[in-house]
Amino acid sequence: MNQNPHPNNIVWHHATVTRKRREQLNGHRGGVVWFTGLSGAGKSTIAHSVEERLHQMGCRTFVFDGDNVRHGLCSDLGFSPADRHENLRRIGEMGKLFAEAGIIALTAFISPFHSDREMVRNMVASDDFLEIYCRCPLEVCEARDVKGLYRRARAGEIKEFTGVSAPYEEPDNASLVIDTNLIDIEESTRIVLALIAERGIIPV
C-alpha cells in the first residue's frame, strides 16, 4: 500500500493552537496507553476502568477498543496479517492525533506482532507511548471466553484466531506487565494510573 501517493501536492499546515496550549488548557499531557494481550486477557476492561478514573480526575480521554473500531474506522478490514497491520496503522495514526490534541488515548488491541507494535511505538514520541502487556495464560483466557470466540475458533468457525490458529508474540520491552490472572481490576487500574503519573502525563 502506498502510504503517501501525493508527496508533491500536500503541505503541512501549522496551527496557531499548539499542542502545548491544548495541554495547558486540559491540565495534563496527551499520550497513548497501548494495551496488548490475548483475547480475554482483560485489555478492554482495564482500559475502560483506567479511563473512568482519569475522567473522574478531570482528564480528557478516549478508549479505542478493538471491536468498536471495526464497526466504523476499520470496518473494511479482515483479520489477515496485512489487514491486522493496516488496522493498527490506522489506530496508531489516530492515537498520535489524539496525543497531539492533548488527549489521553487508551487502546485495547490484541496487536499480536512485535513489528506492528513497534510501528505504532515509532509513530509516537517516546515520552507519549506506554505499552501495557496484559499477560494471561491461554488456558485462563479460553476458560473465560467472554465472547465465545475461543469456542468458535476451536470449532474452525474463526480462522487465524490469535492463540489458537495464529501466534501471539509477547512484548519484550513493555512499559508495564500485568498478570491479569493474578491481579484484580482495582489493583490493575491503580498500577496503570501510577505509571501514567510517573511518566508525567497526569499530575502526581
Give me the phi and psi of 33, to 5 degrees please.
Answer: -110, 110
Displacement of CA 34 from its chain's centroid (Å): 3
Q: What pLDDT digit, counting tens, does each position of 119-175 carry? A: 999 999 889 999 999 999 999 999 999 889 999 999 999 988 999 999 999 999 999
Residue 175 structural domain: 32-104+112-198
Total domains present in the chain: 1
Q: Is residue 116 part of a domain?
A: yes
In a domain, 148, yes or no: yes
User: What was the pLDDT predicted at 124?
Assistant: 92
pTM here? 0.90
Half-sphere exposure of 150 (CA within 13 A, CB side): 15
Instruction: Decide if 111 is catalytic.
Output: yes
Give the CATH number of the domain where residue 190 resides.
3.40.50.300
**Per-residue pLDDT at 159:** 87
Task: Return d(Cα 16, Cα 203) in angstroms, integer.
Answer: 25
CA–CA distance, 111 with 151 (Å, rounded to integer):
21
Out of 44, 49, 111, 188, the active site residue is 111
Q: How many residues does the chain have?
A: 204
Q: Say if 70 falls within a structural domain.
A: yes
Digit-coded pLDDT (tens) for 18-61? 999 999 999 999 999 999 999 999 999 999 999 999 999 999 99
